[in-house]
Structure 1
Amino acid sequence: MWGVSYWVFPVISALCWIGMLMGMLIHWCVDGKPHYSSMEPTQNIAYISDVGAGSLKPLFITGSCVTTVFLDLSFISERWLRHNGRLVANTSVFQKVLSLVSLFFAGVGTVGLICLSIFDTLRYPTLHDLFLLLFIVGYVISAVFLCWEYQRLGIHFRQHAVLRNSFWIKLAFIFIELALAIAFAVCNFKYNYNAAAVLEWAVSFVFTFYVLSFVYDLIPAVKTKGAPFNRSTEMEQEANDPEARAHDREGRFTADSERTLAANDIRTTSGTKAPVGRNF
């Protein structure tokens, strides 16, 4: 089976994040959906920040810290495993730069999330909004550069479905989060606070799936435990990928066709082979 490996980092991160969100949402509902002092007069649905600014602030801070720490460990593990050959290795310095830039912006998102949980919307509304922006922008930009890296890797390693699938998963996250974040900002500016609150919860829940996508990225390292990524591992993964097999058959067919054409271009004359003249 999978065994305990680096993939547990994003699992812990996702479970902590979704547990925190569900705990805060259930608390607000069970408590009779109170109108917190940080809420606007016309607002009936609480933001995550409103719930986290009250008695559940310790949960908000702890959940945010644990989530981001283990998510960052997932980023670092991915970079380390790729560097050591436990995952498909980068083929250029440019790919490594993309990975490091992605890691940097993940750190920016980490700072944003931890700080927005500390500087709550009740006591520090301006700082809270600033760190909220930092959190969203940081992780979205990080995902962009990670997608870019996977796209470049996929060009060289078409046989690895993990790279291709992870690219599309993270790209979907980027578009969904951007759409939700823009809608959230528009609703806020138009003072439609209830819709904005729903969108904020949606943005946060979608983030869970992005965190879980790293489980998919890190699972292949289980097969290379104790040994670097080698050709046998590559052939095994290729054998399990129908698209890669089709691509390989196409390549072999092309090579065989070229050899056949080359063979037809020669003829035997007096026991020796001479090239046939071509008409242009």
Structure 2
Amino acid sequence: MAVPVDEAGISETNVYKERNGAKSMDETRRTTINDFLAQLGLPPGDPSNFHRALTHSSYAYEAGTADNERLEFLGDAVVGLAIGAALFQMYPNVNEGALAKMRASIISATSLGAQAARLGFGQYLLLGKSEAQSGGRERQSILADAFEAFVGAVYLTYGWDTAHHWLIDQFQTALQEASKGQGDFKTELQEILQSRGKGVPEYRLLRQTGPDHDRQFTVGAYVTGSLSGTGMGKSKKKAGQEAAKAVLGKLGEDS
């Protein structure tokens, strides 16, 4: 994939080099970044974008160079699309609201910061003196921003396919475990109804059958006073969850 070119015909990489001249990157830094790319399973490439991705604003201010914030903006979009598309394909029966929660959890600042720390981003960051002395290399927000900027650099350097595959590799476990904790249908239903101005659902026990050791409960979920779904279970709690799930299914059909 070609690096985007602006109206003046200057690529993102060349703008960076022109702004920073000889100070942009020495051979030691170039070698260090190439080694880091190899460590992360990425092919050799022009390290200029990665040098910028690992340049924090505190260092940029002191050195009079460009920081990683524009690449962070780009990487945020790439991460969101890659993870969103993966969830869409992996969980065909999960509704939009649950998918959004799963994606938000996977790409939260906490999650991205943890990924960056696991991959050793901290030691490659360029930080201002004060930021470095105050523990910036381990700071979650800085690591999360650097991770997004790095992804932006991967996209610019290698294109969508490489960026997408690399991200999926990093988040494979998180993607596979994303559905855990998504079974609280009552909470999900309440959030959706409140967002639509329909208040809080009410749950009523409609009937219970069977002997004491094998009771079966039927619970109804009422929305704005009307019975909107029913559920059955071995406990009132389970039956209530099933009733909420039934209402969510109807809402999905109507949307």
Normalising by the smaller structure, the TM-score range is under 0.3
The TM-score with structure 2 as length reference comes to 0.28
Give the strand-richer structure, 1 or 2.
2
Structure of higher CA gyration radius: 1
The TM-score with structure 1 as length reference comes to 0.26
Larger RCO, structure (CA 8 Å, separation 6 or more): 1
